[in-house]
């Protein structure tokens, strides 16, 4: 995280890679962390990393954005296809486009409007 003057380094435990994808006004950060062989989604708030893992067996997971209400969007890839999701109050909702095999939610605003592919 860069505030215009200094950098804040993020690292989720001993994972070899930590990717920050979104931040809200409270400086809560979402992203993915892991290795080349798999990642899990996370929410970082106050230096505490909380896993955000879509149900099922997934290889790569990323929380991609968070709005000021704390609603999170992201994607989970199981090796064959990816699911887009929302996460709010510890509840997941799948938001895949009907018939699509590759889905991703990449942004959410404070009105809970979601963009992605």
pLDDT for res 74: 98
Closest CA to 105 of 66, 79, 69: 66
Tell whether 39 is covered by a domain: yes
- Residue 29 and residue 49: Cα distance in Å, rounded? 9
In a domain, residue 2? The reply is: no
Structural domain span for residue 80: 17-116
Q: What is the pLDDT along the chain (117 residues), one digit of tens a residue?
A: 888 999 988 888 888 899 999 999 999 999 999 998 999 999 999 889 999 999 999 999 999 999 999 999 999 999 999 999 999 999 999 999 999 999 999 999 999 999 999
pTM equals 0.93
Total domain count, the chain: 1
What's the full length of the chain, in residues? 117
Q: Tell me whether residue 53 is in a domain.
A: yes
CB atoms closer than 10 angstroms to residue 94? 13
Give 60-94 as a DSSP string: EEEEEEE-TT--EEEEEE-SS-EEEEEEETTEEEE
């Amino acid at each position: 995280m860069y505030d215009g003057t200094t950098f804040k380094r993020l690292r989720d435990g001993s994972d070899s890679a930590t990717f920050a994808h979104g931040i809200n006004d409270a400086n809560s950060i979402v992203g993915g962390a892991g290795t080349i062989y798999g990642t899990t989604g996370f929410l970082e708030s106050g230096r505490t990393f909380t896993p955000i893992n879509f149900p099922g067996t997934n290889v790569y997971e990323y929380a991609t954005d968070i709005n000021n209400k704390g609603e999170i969007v992201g994607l989970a890839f199981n090796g064959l296809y990816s699911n887009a999701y929302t996460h709010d109050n510890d509840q997941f909702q799948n938001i895949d486009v009907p018939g699509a095999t590759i889905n991703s939610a990449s942004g959410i605003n404070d009105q809970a409007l979601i963009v992605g592919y």
